[in-house]
Amino acid sequence: MSFPLLPGQVSENEARTELWVRRLTIGFCLIAIVLGAAQAWTSRFSMNPDGVQYLDNATAYSSGDFHRAVNSQWSPLYPWLIGTWFAAVRASPYLEFPLVHLLNFLIYLASLAAFLFFLNCVLDRIPVEKRAPANRVSLVLIACSSFLYCTLDFTNLAYVTPDLLVSLFAFLAGGLLLRIAAGTASASGYVALGGVLGLGYLAKTPFLVFGALCLGIVAGLGSKRRRAGHLARWCLAAATFAIIAAPYIGILSNAKSRFTFGDSGRWNVIWMVNRVPFYNWQGGPADNGAPIHPTRQISSNPAIFEFATPIGGTYPPWYDPIYWSQGARIAFRPGDFARALLRQIQLYGYLVHHRQLPLVFALATLFLLAADTRRVLAGIRQFWPVLLLGATPFAMYAVVHAEARYLAPFFVLLWTALMAGLLAGLDANLDRGVLLSIVTVAAALVLVEAVTVTPPAAPTRLHYEVAQNIQRLGLKRGDPVAIVTGDLDYFWARLVGARIIMQVEFGKPSCPNCQKLPAEWEKAKQILAANGAVLIVSPCIPGVVDQPGWQPLGVTGAYAYRLR
């Protein structure tokens, strides 16, 4: 990364500072690589429900099963990368989980490079007279510490999701916006922005909104500055964006027989705001409608749901949840939206208060130390394109649903742009020792938090042990199986290549109600066998797994019953 100096003023002191800043940046990169590699290694056997669906989607694309591959819930870029990666290394089923975490690490490295590009664009945007050594060091410390913490804690390499791709494209978009705002971007820069926005949409549907916003920002910049050729260059950016995004929108709309660019936004309102169940919804409340083709409930006591056809995947109810819930509609109940807004406000407050308070302290203190707050606000306004891009997801998710991993790169955009704006507006008389002391303490505290980040779940090979024990019972790839709802995840089914076609819910089997469970199990056993399940897997449920025929799967706490 280059840090421009004042023309003709390369003093010995400035040269030493420039060298020190470069070493600081290199040190940050080494720390980021080591911590990212450690996180990827410790989580190499972990999996999450969304991750199984992305793996299934990658398999569908790789096998040419495009009818099942095109999915309005799961965006395609991440499965395409997974499928290409697995084909290149010829992944065996038991190596898929570690290999997808290695892919996550590679995407993380690309995200790190994109962040450094963004940071360099921010440094270039600071006025020349404000590029004092202390200012550059302060900005690098705040930006790098926020990247480390937000990426390693909020996004986390343990999650098999495309959120690291979103980070990659968000940083690139932020940097390109600043170059366009500064008037230093060539035509290729506009094309690059359109390409980044298009790929961002293919990575995750909400990026379509961010893409439209960025194009609007660029259009606004042109109308203000009236630069020659700006309209033509904007058209290049918009055309590139459309060339990448439009074909997939057409394919998706054709597959769903209606216009759609992705359904996750609408259905998140139904699931997260109206609280319609994710799985096995059979209808209600009345104003939310009823499913057209729900999973088929073939028993109510115990509840047994069958979903062998027509959806594929390891666990069909979550591979295409929109198919099973089609017919649901958004109910505009004010109380639902008020509670959703309150939940998101609490989440936003927690994410800032949890471990980002040192950054708040640093920025607030520098603002209070400023002699002229209007000058500081003017400095911050120079970075309005990035601030608007960074703030948009918080507003967009506010009345629906947000998670920390959705917001990680946008926190980094906001912290970096705000710090750069403060430095651009600070009075030259502010003691640089005070500035560096405040920033160094804040960055050190955040760095400590980044180093001590705990994984979202303790590393475990439980699903591997379950899979190996099930295969010893004679289960073959492609065999139909059933599961019992409980605290045992179904990730083992992806490892053995089984298809879950039925699900049993025994309610809350706590004693003294255990006496009814043996009879319910006898009833369920006959129904499962009659509907084609070869085997059923259950967590430890007294009254069920202690009946004759159940076999413990090693020391996993899981049990299996061979139905035929």
Q: Are 440 and 197 in contact (CB under 8 A)?
A: no
Q: What is the pLDDT of residue 5?
A: 44
In the chain, the amino acid numbered 415 is: W
Q: What is the pLDDT of residue 424?
A: 87
Distance in angstroms (rounded) separating the CA atoms of residues 438 and 450: 19
Residues with Cβ within 8 Å of residue 220, at least 6 apart in sequence: none
pLDDT surpassing 60 at residue 241:
yes
Q: Which residue in the block uniquely carries the two structure tokens 């290149």? A: 88
Can you read off the two tokens belonging to residue 27? 């040190």
Can you read off the two tokens belonging to residue 387? 């601030």
Q: How confident is the model at residue 2 (pLDDT cuts 50, 70, 90)?
A: very low
Q: How confident is the model at residue 516 (pLDDT cuts 50, 70, 90)?
A: confident
Mean residue pLDDT across the chain: 92
Local structure of 299: helix, strand or coil:
strand
pLDDT tens, position by position, 146-156: 999 999 999 99
Q: Tell which residue, 228, 209, 112, 546, has the closest CA to residue 406.
A: 209
CA distances from residue 532 to 27, 499, 529, 536 in whole angstroms, order as listed: 58, 11, 5, 11
Q: What is the pLDDT of residue 287?
A: 94
Q: What is the pLDDT of residue 455?
A: 67
Q: Tell which residue, 181, 147, 399, has the closest CA to residue 274.
A: 399
Element (H, E) at 253: helix 230-256
CA distances from residue 400 to 97, 273, 327 in whole angstroms, order as listed: 31, 6, 20
Give the side-chain half-sphere CA count within 13 A for 253: 10
Relative orientation angle of helices 404-425 and 357-369, to the nearest 10 degrees:
20
pTM: 0.94
Q: Are 58 and 80 in contact (CB under 8 A)?
A: yes
Largest Cα separation within the chain, whole Å, is 88
Count CB-CB contacts under 10 A for residue 276.
Answer: 22
Element (H, E) at 529: helix 517-530
pLDDT tens, position by position, 249-262: 999 999 999 999 99
Core vs surface per residue 324-362: b (16+ CB within 10 A) or e: bbbebebbeeeebbeebeebbeebbeebeeebbebbeeb
Q: What is the pLDDT of residue 228?
A: 64
Own/partner long-range contacts of 23-27 (Cβ < 8 Å, ≥24 apart): 24/137, 24/140, 24/141, 25/1, 25/116, 25/140, 25/144
Q: Which 8-state DSSP code applies to residue 227?
A: -
pLDDT tens, position by position, 354-413: 889 999 999 999 999 888 889 999 999 999 999 999 999 999 999 999 999 999 999 999
Local structure of 425: helix, strand or coil:
helix
